[in-house]
Structures are given as structure tokens and as C-alpha cells.
Structure 1
Amino acid sequence: MSKDQTRAEELLNELRIIPKIIKTLAEDSEAIRGALLTAPQWSDMRVTGGLRQSQEDKNIKVIDKTEYHQAEIDKLIKRREEITSIIMQLPMIQAHILNVTYLKCDNYDEAMDYLDIRNRNKYFKNLRIAKEKLNLILENTE
């Protein structure tokens, strides 16, 4: 955590990045599976890096990689749920502002449009209050 970043801001930034990491892992997993389906089949035994490998060994490695990706995605989904449950302890409007800003939208302007808030000052005031209350919740749970 940087000097000027509160625990709430750190948590919210984590919440914002989780869907992007999940998407990247899912895309990578699909690419690996696609390579398995389109890979040319070779004779049963090949030497790779001085090691004898069968096609089955290669397939098992691909399956292991995709299982690893899925396990990481599951961890990230659980973490997102944990963070969201902390946010839901806030009053409903403040929880909604944080969830929209950090889960649904990529930037503040997009969040303001989604929330249909035309006054920037009102939006940022509500966002600041929500972050302060979230920080209080986090301090009380430590």
C-alpha cells in the first residue's frame, strides 16, 4: 500500500482489476485448449528437449494448465465476492456507487453516466463519503 492510498482504495483497486485478470486467464485457457484441438498429431513418441514425450503427455500438460487457470479464476471470484460483501455493509446508495464505479465501469465518467449523475461534484462527494465509510469498516474489522 502506498503512503497516500487508504486500505479502502487499495481494496477497490483490487476489485477493479479482478475481472480483467479473470478475463485474461479465461482467454489464455481457451487458447491452450484450442491449441490442443488443432495440434497436429505426431507419432506416439517424440523427443522434446532430450525427454521422450508421447502425445498423451502433451495432452496431460495442457489439461493441467487449464485446471490451474480455472483454479485461479475460482480464487479470484471468491475474492471478488469477499470484497463485495464488505462493500454491501455500507448504506445501499454508497454500496451501489462503489460497485458500479469499480466493478461495472472502467472510469469515473462511465460510472457517472451509468448512475445517471450529471453533477460531477455530487458524484465525487458521494464516492469520497463511500470510501471513507468503507475505510472505517475495514479499520474496525482489523
Structure 2
Amino acid sequence: MEIERKYLIDQIPFDLSEYPSRKIEQGYLCTEPVVRIRRDGEDYYLTYKSKGLMVREEYNLPLTRDAYEHLKPKADGRIITKERFLIPLDDTLTIELDRFEGDLAPLLLAEVEFQDEDSANAFVPPDWFGEDVTFSSKYHNSTLSRI
């Protein structure tokens, strides 16, 4: 189960180069239900995500590089590329800040994953977070792949 809140980011009040990051490339074989392929550094995955906004089922299956490259041309819409920065928020939470590349630039989205719904509902975001888009499918990557 994936439980996360998502926010638009307008300005980042610190230097992102101080935090670890990795390149991600992903495409969508289907958007209802969501079936995604992803290259995350040197790791490759096929992911299924159920319907939902803040809470969704998510299953990740490993792929080989060859399988990923075979499936990539079958993706609908654009292949999304982004750099993901991991920013510690406290002892238990990490901000995953995605800086989108290509024609989705300069979009910045921050996601925070939680252990349970109560924690997600009680979350107070940092002051530099912008609009809460958790309950809007407009900013799901599967939607962004089609616009």
C-alpha cells in the first residue's frame, strides 16, 4: 500500500546539490489501471498501481534492462524523465522532490510517503511547499505522460 501526499513546489529555499539524487525515466503501458515501466538508475521495474489518490495499492516487479528496452517503445504518450532528490524531513519522513526534465520542465513536485493514513492526514508541510495536489489526479505521473 502506498500512502503519500503530493505538493507543487514554486521555489526551493536551499541548494539541491547538497542532497542525493538519481535519474528516473518512466513510461506508461496503460493508465487505467496504471501499468508503468521505470528505469531508476541501473534498476528496472514494472509497476501496477490501483485507482486512488492519497492511498493506492502498488506492486513493483523487477525487470531486466532488455525487458525494459523492449517495453519502452510500447509506452503510451511521453516518456517522463526527472531527477529525484531525497531530502530528510525528520527522523521518519523523507521528501522525494522530483525536478522534471524535457517538455515537463520546470515542474517541481514533492511527495512524502507515510506509514498510515492518520499520519498522512495529520501532516503539516514545510512553509516552502506550495499547493497540496494530493487529491488531484492532474499531477499523477500517468496523467502527465498524456498531456
TM over 0.5, shorter chain: no
Q: Which has the higher helix share?
A: 1
Q: TM-score, normalised by structure 1?
A: 0.25
Q: TM-score, normalised by structure 2?
A: 0.25
Q: Which has the larger radius of gyration?
A: 1
Q: Which has the higher strand share?
A: 2
